[in-house]
Amino acid sequence: MLKRSSDTACRSIGKGYVLGVDAGGTKTLALVADAEGLVLGMGRAGGGNFQSSGVRGAGESINNAISLALSQARVDRSQVSMACYGIAGADRKKDFRTIKGLLMEITPTRRFILVNDTVIALRAGTPDGVGIGLIAGTGNNAIGMNRKGRIAKVGGLGRPLGDFGSASDIGEYALFSAMRGHDGRGRPTILYKKICRLLGLKRLEDAIEFLFYDNIAQGGSSQPSSLGWSDFGGLAFLVFEAAGEGDRVAQEILKKAGREIARAASAVMKKLFRPDEDVPIVMGGSVFQKGNHPALVRSLRASLPKSFRRIRMITLDFEPVLGAVFFCLDRLHGKAGEERMMRAKESFHSLEKP
């Protein structure tokens, strides 16, 4: 069981500008908004998870995203009165200490909230942050909060420690299934040709070269692929594509991912909620938000405990980073309120347009 992260600010801090940051394994997104929720600046940078990018690399990505957002908003760092950081890799107490140390070097204000990135996704999809947040992107995670403010988390540490359902898991399982289907150990699948075409290979067995020591040491492969040597997540979209074309193997991979994500969600649900309570489940990350076949979500929903009859499934249709902005507005005003949240969504949408 986790305790809610606290910040050093009191609720009556002055108005000014707020900073929301979502740092994932692949990208970091930062937003600067005014005290009424109007988003004025946005910054993008590389992955901000120190577990995969290193402390220094994560710090540079987060700082770059913040600087770009402040520059676009024409706001000075000294004008930021509140910040919220949703960081992938903030899983254990040790992780929080590491990330807090990293942030103290770069944050424009010492008044900040630090939470796991799944928590800001949950806040983005609910009016108060109560419910269960599920992230399936570069990695996957499940975190929930009940009306008493109690927080529970399951997973987020990768497949070796029990997770399954991220883009990387789906992509790696696609490679596994394609090879088995080709050599007779499994059902044939159109994933074989799709993966070969994407990787620029005549035979899928040559994908093993991506894992050769010399290629790893060089940071890539001699093969004409647009993917990194271990970028299994880059194959996930092929699974959705093949599933849409009726491929049974691809559909089963998505169903498996749904069942596994449901295991984590169910564990959180039982720790925090009673069967008669409303339980919003907010789904964010590239797998949920960009996946274009319903097999995964249908499998997830069907695998949740039948005793919980008031479950509401919500797929985010905007970036989870808005949840970090909402947290800041909560602290500024006691409650962000529907009007400020809508203003943030609309202004961010306008900012995203080319």
Residue 216 lies in a domain: no
Residue 224 lies in a domain: no
The torsion of the CA quartet 94, 99, 105, 109, rounded to 10 degrees, works out to -120
Q: What percent of the chain has pLDDT over 70?
A: 90
C-alpha span between 193 and 207 (Å, rounded) = 13
> Domain range holding 344?
17-126+319-352
Residue 139 lies in a domain: no
What is the amino acid identity at position 37? G
Residue 4 lies in a domain: no
Structure tokens at 279: 């339980």
Residue 120 lies in a domain: yes
Which of 253, 349, 329, 275 is closest to 11 using CA atoms?
A: 329
Structure tokens at 106: 């770069």
C-alpha span between 30 and 6 (Å, rounded) = 20
Could you report the per-residue pLDDT of 112-152, keeping only the tens digit for each? 999 999 999 999 999 999 999 999 988 899 999 999 999 99
C-alpha span between 176 and 190 (Å, rounded) = 13
Residue 38 lies in a domain: yes
C-alpha span between 103 and 74 (Å, rounded) = 22
- The pLDDT score that the predictor gives to residue 160 is 83
pTM assigned to the model? 0.84
Residue 264 lies in a domain: no
Residue 45 lies in a domain: yes
Strands 151-154 and 279-284: unpaired
What is the amino acid identity at position 14? G
131: region left, alpha or beta (phi > 0 left; psi from -120 to 50 alpha):
left
What is the amino acid identity at position 266? S
Could you report the per-residue pLDDT of 81-109, keeping only the tens digit for each? 999 999 999 999 999 999 999 999 999 99
CATH of the domain at 46: 3.30.420.40
What's phi and psi for 85, nearest 5 deg?
-115, 120
Cβ–Cβ under 8 Å, residues 322 and 20: yes
- In a structure prediction context, what are the per-residue pLDDT tens digits for the chain, which is 354 residues long? 343 443 433 333 446 899 999 999 889 999 999 999 999 999 999 999 998 899 999 999 999 999 999 999 999 999 999 999 999 999 999 999 999 999 999 999 999 999 999 999 999 999 999 999 999 988 899 999 999 999 999 987 788 888 899 999 999 999 999 999 999 999 999 999 999 999 999 999 988 887 765 665 555 444 444 455 457 899 999 999 999 999 999 999 999 999 999 999 999 999 999 999 999 999 999 999 999 899 999 999 999 999 999 999 999 999 999 999 999 999 999 999 999 999 999 999 998 876
Distances (CA, A) of 238 to 34, 193, 208, 223, 228: 40, 10, 19, 19, 16
- Structural domain count of the chain: 1
3-state secondary structure of 233: helix
